[in-house]
Structure 1
Amino acid sequence: MSQIVPDLTPEKDLPLRDDIRLLGRLLGDTIREQEGDAVFDVVERIRQTSIRFHRDEDQIARQELETTLNSLSRGRTNQIIRAYSYFSHLANIAEDQHHVRRSRAHAMAASAPREGTMTRALKLAQEAGVTQGDLQRFFASALVCPVLTAHPTEVRRKSTIDREMEVAQILAQRDRQHLIPEELAASEEALRRAVLTLWQTSILRRNRLKVIDEVVNGLSYYDYTFFQELPRFYAALEDQLAAMEPMWQTQELPSFLRMGSWIGGDRDGNPFVTADALRQALHLQSRQVIGFYLEEIHCLGGELSLDGRYVSISEQLQALVDTSPDHSPHRQDEPYRRAISGIYARLAATAKALGHGEVAHHPAGEAPAYSSVEELAGDLSILHRSLMVNGSGVLARGRLRKLRRAVDVFGFHLASIDLRQNADVHERVVAELIEKACPGTGYAQRAEKDRIAFLLEELRTPRLLTSPYLDYSKETASEIAIIREAAKSHTLYGQAAVSNYVISKASDPSDVLEVALLLKEAGLLRPSTGEMSINIVPLFETIDDLRRCGQVMETLFSMPDYMQLLRSRGQIQEVMLGYSDSNKDGGFLTSGWELYKAEIKLVEVFRKHGVALRLFHGRGGSVGRGGGPSYQAILAQPGGAVQGAIRITEQGEVIAGKYSNPDLGRRNLEILASATLEATLLHTGTPAPRDEYLRTMEELSNHAYQAYRGLVYETEGFERYFWESTVIGEIANLNIGSRPASRTNSRRIEDLRAIPWVFGWAQCRLMLPGWYGFGAAVNAWLQSHSDTGLSLLQEMYREWPFFEALLSNMDMVLAKSNIAIASRYAQLVEDEKLRETIFPRVRREWEDSISKLLAITGQKALLERNPLLARSIRNRFPYLDPLNHLQVELLKRHRAGDADERVVEGIHLSINGIAAGLRNSG
């Protein structure tokens, strides 16, 4: 049942098919040459048998698969896995390049602006009567911030990503240039070299990553994409606005699209994120961005060779020339070069002062370091204004324009690092500090009301709780040290270096006030003036916390002391919503609904108290963790939830998928910005959903919650079923991240991190967190509303963006699931009775969920309305499915006691390949 729409390849997709065939042929040739015909023949036999099994769970095909796989030696098994894994990676590259190809085709054909572009967003705003003043106010206060996070399921090495980017660049060259036969042959040979290098390069890391390795990995995306594409985004947007309205020709946009990071500051359950890790992360980020500036300034000096005998310059530029250490006679008549030499010398001195070591190009002489990034920006603006007023405006629009924007966006810090820690840790730390300073206070035993009163009183006094003469626990000492390190970063790099403190598992007002008290200990909160230098961001994650978040914020806003602190932060309060733990806690449908209701409640509370709401969405890659198309997700928020500002986590393999290709990276950044503009300016007056829709959704959620909890938390033995039928145990031992899979040593699902929970289900192709409970919910609803129930659900799908997005995401998840393959993983459960109790139940719910989804959407097959994803699945799944079959066989061997390291390596390789094939699995 539920076959995906058949392959009817349109003409526009033929180049993609050709690229996939080309890369597949080159990989096949490489395997033959390196491993022999026998290996290639086995690869093909497994693929063909897997297709038969995939089609209808052909039991003969199952037996043939098992026979073939059981006969493979350990070494041969890993060769086969590597073959399929690399095909998945190469198919991804071809697909990404095709997205770029189609975008360029639309641009060349001058097609109507596409959804998710700033051109379309501005056009819609213009048609809706949004004034230029409205746009100015939006850009003046807007904030769009993708936040890169370390991710314990990201397994690719930078070495392989670099080679894959080389393949992408060669494909782009073949597509965009008319190559003569000799050039085509050279191009194919270059591809062959890249594929061979990939084949001979290890996909896996041999050692577990350290936090600093994750920092370095995250920084690579600035070289790939952000340094170049963010300035280009702003330049294109400014030009679009200038073409619409002459007033924009003399204005520069505020830098509302900026980067954030959790890498080096997120210590929730990660003991390796310390004050030293934060210091190193900040240092590496600063070194990366200042190194970029230095190289750009060096190149700019090479370009601006203007002769002072032919051009005039401003008085301010002359002042820069006069203070420049560059006295070379070769440049005595080149004022811009001399001024730029002075800027370079000052920035080189800044790099030295920050401990960055030697710069690539020696400065012309000694110069004072910049005391702030604003000084650097001011000098670059002098260059800009001098060029503009002296007939060289077109020169100002080149490298200098992009550099000035980069300096404004990235500062000396590159990306704002958020601090994050669990509320339970804060409670223990604050309790210890108070008990040390005021023995017998008994803070930990106090009720919430008493805690609030005590914390408010402490926040009013400048007296510190910490003392250099007292000894503290390792946990407390570490927490205080990292907050003090954040304070130091403000002095070194500016306040934007560390600007947010996220509280995981926030559930009470005291959770927020405890962080405020800790900030005071480092001078980041000053009682005498009521000022705070960091935003405190409660993260509401569980179902109960989401239901209570409105009341928590109401209580905080009712405190004059807290409102004073907010005023020092521009009367803006950020709230983070956690998709991961709410899903693990209550299931996909209930999680989505409780998040939606929480936003409605927050909008009401914030409006009542006159506080601006900034939402931070903790979205993972998978739908089970809040993933799915960003544009639709932002527009599906309730009215008033997007108030010109939004932050969204970008995680693991999603970062690589979105931002390793510069063209796709620019597109994904633009999607976030355009959706935020539309949601803010065009959807503010969107009517609330009909009460009937809300009541229906509440009832569906209740039924889904009961079904999900009944399976996951109330079925005896389910925990064991999960650990035995997935690769969760093996994932916990992978060298793929610095953070443990569980918050404690327990195997309880409650203690398991949401990422490996979702990732484990994705690997076995069941995708349970992304759909379980939906079929049961709709069945229960239809039983009690048999007359009009289905028609109402169909209407909700057509008319309500939230419900449409919910079902669209589930459509994607179900299409990527495979119950036949999942049945093979179920066989890994040793207890036959447990297996036969749970898997048939899961299968029925899977079937029900698909049938109800199709009935509501009116589709005849999954992904009928998403032909791009349907095409992607057709292209990759014949090569993905065999990896699952191979993984099952390896898990059997490993769990039977085969300790050969090649078995473990094979499991790790298969995890990599399956994650690559699914693309958004964690």
Structure 2
Amino acid sequence: MKLSQKQVVFENEVLTRFDLFKSLFLTLPFQRVKHTGTLLPFFAAHCERGVEQHLPPENIIDSFFGQYEQYIEESDRVDLLFRIVQYIERQVVLFDAIEDSSFQAIGKTDETAGLDSLFKLAQTDKKLKSRIVEKLKDFSVRLVLTAHPTQFYPGPVLGIINDLIEAIKNNDIPNINLLLQQLGKTPFINKNKPTPVDEAASLAWYLENVFYKVTSSIHSKIDNELELPSDDVKQLIELGFWPGGDRDGNPNVTVESTKKVATMLRTILFRCYYRDFRVVKRRITFRGAEQYLENLQELLYNNSFNPVENPVDETGRILENLNSIKDVLNTSHNGLFVELVEDLIRKVNTFGCYFTTLDIRQDSSILRNTISYLVDNFDGKTGLDVSDLEASEDNKQKAFKFNEEQLEFSDKADPLIQDTLGVIRLLKNIQASGSERAAQRFIISNCQQASDILGLMQLFLWQGWKKESLTIDFVPLFETVDDLSRARVVMESLYTNDVYAKHLKRRGNKQTIMLGFSDSTKDGGYLMANWSIYKAKIELTALAREYNVDLVFFDGRGGPPARGGGKTQRFYAAMGGEIENKHIQLTIQGQTISSQYGSLDTAQYNIEQLLHAGLISEIKQNNSDTLTDKQKNVIDDMAAESHRKFLSLRNHPQFLKYLEKLSPLKALSSINISSRPVKRNSDKELRLQDLRAISFVTSWSQLKQNIPGFFGVGSAMQWAEENNLWSYVKNLYQNSGFFNTLIDNCMMSMTKSNFDITAYMKDDKEFGEFWTMLHEEYEKTKAYLLKLSNSNVLMENYPVERASILEREKIILPLLIIQHYAIRTIDTNKLSNEQQEVYRKIIGRTIYGVVNAGRNLA
């Protein structure tokens, strides 16, 4: 098969260079590194052959060691396995760095449409240019960084990767060698479980080193291309932040940690400003600007290095002085160095004194408990009694009086209740120090009824806030299939509630609704989850337009397609006319952050892709992206069939047992990857509803079975074919951007699957039948996807991404064999507690490498 030009470039720029630079590892002056590096190719080849022969992992490992006399003792074998894991971890980093350094040469991804193509059209089409300019005045992209543990590079390793990318770009071999030495000495794991503040500090690296610079660059580009003043589009790119604010299921997030994170974000931002200001000050040595420079010197320095306990919002003062300097330069000094000042003005317009909006999130059950506590303890002052809280939904909504009685709470109250009330009070201080934009959203997880929102609003009024100045947006999160189906009813109850409608009007009639992929996929399977969210968007858009509400969808997207990741830009470009798409808001996390936003090049490209998607979906909308009633019915029926298939799997008596026994699910709770527990109600027996979607998806991906990303899709397509609907499915794939992207993302999940690794399980007495059921659906889905896309292999239309995935899977195959070997050794052998701990550590270390390697468009 003839390679495309991009494939040839990928092979030369990435694969060949990877092979060359890998050899540098062998020269590192570390104990036993050369020995490990020499053995690794033999071990990797041995693993490949064993997998091809469908051998159990213990057979593969034991037969390898049987070739070497020096590995008779278990301790020697374990030592080598540890060193192989450490070696491969660093190979993954090297591959990441090489791929990122080649980003421009490869031509970004297999898709090339972006802002540049749109701007080129606008130069010759004045009407199009006018429409783009008008759209940009009321359009934004908000990227919300979360601390969900889907990628595990600690801060120091991120710094090394960044430097390594630049060194590889310049073919600086001596520096590459030094950085690899540093990499060899730098720990990849945390000694202690990170706190929410630690997680925030880690993600702040991206804010400071990537987003701070890239957002200004994009604003400048738009200004230059469209001659649009930056003041008109100052909120085009927004950033959100969850570490320190997201307390849903994480008891380690407290009022104190929220306060520390808000303070840290403000301080880091001012240090960024101060660094830029020093460049400005060094260049502007002319008369007329002295006083303004002096004002800024004092203001920026003190906020950077001498922060006070309760600072105030200084955005106005900073901009006033910067604009005065700009005026002096333009009127008296021929605009010399004015671009430096304009760059800083753009950044201050974008980030103010807060850097990124800190979202607060809590589960609806905790909010209900908090209301109950206040009602129980302040009889007569709340205007409610216990019977009101136990009433029907309609009566419960009517029971809220929205009185503004401030209620104190006791330090004897449940810690989660104290935290809820405490953070509501803290939000006032955070807004005072960084404006309303510093923290303006409270997200209600597991939102099931309108009273969940109204009750939270009442809690704010009981903690000192006033209805007329309640500068908070209440954001319901609908995630399960059932919650998504009820979302329209919930929102209509809110839009018709007099008090809430008035609050919404004071907030500019803008309502944000969060739709989550993670739990909906775990709940209903891949096809039903995606379709449920799409249907909910159509219904909620129609409702918002009926009530004249400016609707914003906030998508809780994870890393892999099973959690809403994949080609997100294509989803947004293909929403169709029935779905509101004025603003794009989505969570980014883990390997999505590092792979798509980890360097200046990749971040600028991917943000521009999102901007392009939002603009093109409205300005040059593809009519076929708006689904017909017949198309909706076909997808509806397929989703129902897929859901039935997925539920038969979920309800299988071996479902959780299989995951617990064969995957590293248990190990996820013991490794230091996150401040958040692996499951809700962590002190109780494991139940599927309590298991976090990240742990659920990660466990399947470590098995290389990726069930949440495809299971049920093949059965749905078989049903469509048997019911003479195949021509409609083909038409959908060819013409609907939504359906096409959904299927292509499914192919990505399957490309990252490898059932050969666990094929030995087909003869297992306990799980053989269950494994066969999984494998049959995989093969069925694969056959139908190839038929639908008219392809010979999965992801044939995306050869560069496919090649990247396959190379990464090849790199980590030894990690998977080692991991499954360790899991089975613990399960099938009588080991001492000390031996068990050693093998658990091996499992933990392999998890890191496997997850870090699986980044390709998440």
TM (norm. structure 1) is: 0.86
The offset of 1:631, in angstroms, is 1.2
1:301, 1:341 within 8 Å by CA — same for their partners in 2?
no
For residue 345 of structure 1, what is the amino acid of its counterpart? E
Corresponding residue to 2:334 among 392, 401, 425: 392
1:151, 1:652 within 8 Å by CA — same for their partners in 2?
yes
Q: Helix, strand or coil for the counterpart of 2:234? A: coil
Q: Helix, strand or coil for the counterpart of 1:420? A: strand
1:592-624 superposed Cα distances (whole Å, 9 cap, x missing partner)? 010110000011100100001100000000111
Instruction: Quote the residue 1:379 is aligned against.
Output: 321
Q: Does 1:612 align with 2:550?
A: yes
Instruction: Quote the residue 1:68 is aligned against.
Output: 64
Corresponding residue to 2:672 among 735, 751, 765: 735
Show the 5 A alignment for 1:616-655.
616-655=554-593
Instruction: Quote the residue 1:345 is aligned against.
Output: 298
User: CA 1:342–1:864 in 2, change beyond 3 Å: closer, same or farther?
Assistant: same
User: CA 1:275–1:548 in 2, change beyond 3 Å: closer, same or farther?
Assistant: same
Instruction: Quote the residue 1:98 is aligned against.
Output: 102
Q: Does 1:690 align with 2:628?
A: yes
CA distance in 2, matches of 1:617, 1:670: 18
The offset of 1:738, in angstroms, is 0.2
1:239-268 superposed Cα distances (whole Å, 9 cap, x missing partner)? 0112xxxxx379753232011101110000
Q: Helix, strand or coil for the counterpart of 2:552? A: strand
Corresponding residue to 1:858 among 790, 815, 820: 790
User: CA 1:675–1:126 in 2, change beyond 3 Å: closer, same or farther?
Assistant: farther
CA distance in 2, matches of 1:624, 1:69: 37
2:122, 2:129 within 8 Å by CA — same for their partners in 1?
no
1:606-664 superposed Cα distances (whole Å, 9 cap, x missing partner)? 01000011000000001110000221121232424343212110112221222221211
The offset of 1:482, in angstroms, is 0.9
CA distance in 1, matches of 2:811, 2:121: 42
Show the 5 A alignment for 1:714-729.
714-729=651-666
User: CA 1:838–1:891 in 2, change beyond 3 Å: closer, same or farther?
Assistant: same
Q: Does 1:451 align with 2:393?
A: no
Instruction: Quote the residue 2:719 is aligned against.
Output: 780
Q: Does 1:165 align with 2:162?
A: yes
The offset of 1:697, in angstroms, is 0.5
Q: Helix, strand or coil for the counterpart of 2:244? A: coil
Instruction: Quote the residue 1:707 is aligned against.
Output: 645
Q: Helix, strand or coil for the counterpart of 1:229? A: helix
Instruction: Quote the residue 1:141 is aligned against.
Output: 138
Q: Does 1:674 align with 2:670?
A: no
The offset of 1:131, in angstroms, is 5.0
CA distance in 2, matches of 1:95, 1:888: 28
CA distance in 1, matches of 2:362, 2:766: 38
The offset of 1:688, in angstroms, is 2.7
Q: Helix, strand or coil for the counterpart of 2:237? A: coil
Q: Helix, strand or coil for the counterpart of 2:689? A: helix
Corresponding residue to 2:37 among 33, 36, 40: 40
Q: Does 1:259 align with 2:239?
A: yes
1:741, 1:752 within 8 Å by CA — same for their partners in 2?
yes
Corresponding residue to 1:755 among 674, 688, 694: 694
Show the 5 A alignment for 1:759-838.
759-785=698-724, 789-823=725-759, 826=761, 832-838=764-770
Corresponding residue to 2:421 among 469, 475, 480: 480
For residue 315 of structure 2, what is the amino acid of its counterpart? V
Q: Helix, strand or coil for the counterpart of 1:894? A: helix
For residue 795 of structure 2, what is the amino acid of its counterpart? L
User: CA 1:823–1:66 in 2, change beyond 3 Å: closer, same or farther?
Assistant: farther
1:539, 1:576 within 8 Å by CA — same for their partners in 2?
yes
The offset of 1:123, in angstroms, is 4.2
Corresponding residue to 1:302 among 282, 292, 298: 282
Instruction: Quote the residue 1:322 is aligned against.
Output: none
Q: Does 1:195 align with 2:180?
A: yes
The offset of 1:141, in angstroms, is 2.0
1:267, 1:274 within 8 Å by CA — same for their partners in 2?
yes
For residue 793 of structure 1, what is the amino acid of its counterpart? V
Q: Helix, strand or coil for the counterpart of 2:587? A: strand
Corresponding residue to 1:879 among 794, 798, 811: 811
Q: Which runs of 5+ in 1 are unaligned?
A: 107-112, 175-186, 243-247, 309-334, 358-368
**Overall identity of the aligned pairs, in %:** 22
Show the 5 A alignment for 1:130-529.
130-131=127-128, 133-174=130-171, 187-242=172-227, 248=228, 253-306=233-286, 308=287, 335-351=288-304, 354-355=307-308, 372-397=314-339, 399-438=340-379, 440-455=385-400, 458-459=401-402, 461-464=403-406, 466-467=407-408, 472-524=413-465, 526-527=466-467, 529=468
CA distance in 1, matches of 2:539, 2:12: 49
For residue 593 of structure 2, what is the amino acid of its counterpart? I
Q: Helix, strand or coil for the counterpart of 1:73? A: helix
1:209, 1:737 within 8 Å by CA — same for their partners in 2?
yes
Instruction: Quote the residue 1:314 is aligned against.
Output: none
2:558, 2:587 within 8 Å by CA — same for their partners in 1?
yes
Q: Aligned-residue CA RMSD in angstroms?
A: 2.8
1:50, 1:878 within 8 Å by CA — same for their partners in 2?
no
1:78, 1:902 within 8 Å by CA — same for their partners in 2?
no
The offset of 1:471, in angstroms, is 5.8
For residue 83 of structure 1, what is the amino acid of its counterpart? Y
Q: Helix, strand or coil for the counterpart of 2:252? A: coil
User: CA 1:4–1:811 in 2, change beyond 3 Å: closer, same or farther?
Assistant: farther
Q: Which runs of 5+ in 2 are unaligned?
A: none
For residue 478 of structure 1, what is the amino acid of its counterpart? D
The offset of 1:822, in angstroms, is 3.2
1:4, 1:864 within 8 Å by CA — same for their partners in 2?
no
1:506-534 superposed Cα distances (whole Å, 9 cap, x missing partner)? 1111011011112223344x23x3x4201
Q: Does 1:582 align with 2:514?
A: no
1:755-807 superposed Cα distances (whole Å, 9 cap, x missing partner)? 1100111111111100001111112222222xxx3332111100111110111
CA distance in 2, matches of 1:659, 1:882: 28
TM (norm. structure 2) is: 0.93
For residue 374 of structure 1, what is the amino acid of its counterpart? G
CA distance in 2, matches of 1:117, 1:289: 29
The offset of 1:403, in angstroms, is 1.0
Moved more, 726-735 or 292-301: 292-301
The offset of 1:842, in angstroms, is 0.5
Q: Helix, strand or coil for the counterpart of 1:574? A: strand
The offset of 1:687, in angstroms, is 6.2
User: CA 1:726–1:586 in 2, change beyond 3 Å: closer, same or farther?
Assistant: same
CA distance in 2, matches of 1:482, 1:374: 27
Corresponding residue to 1:15 among 13, 38, 50: 13
User: CA 1:487–1:4 in 2, change beyond 3 Å: closer, same or farther?
Assistant: farther
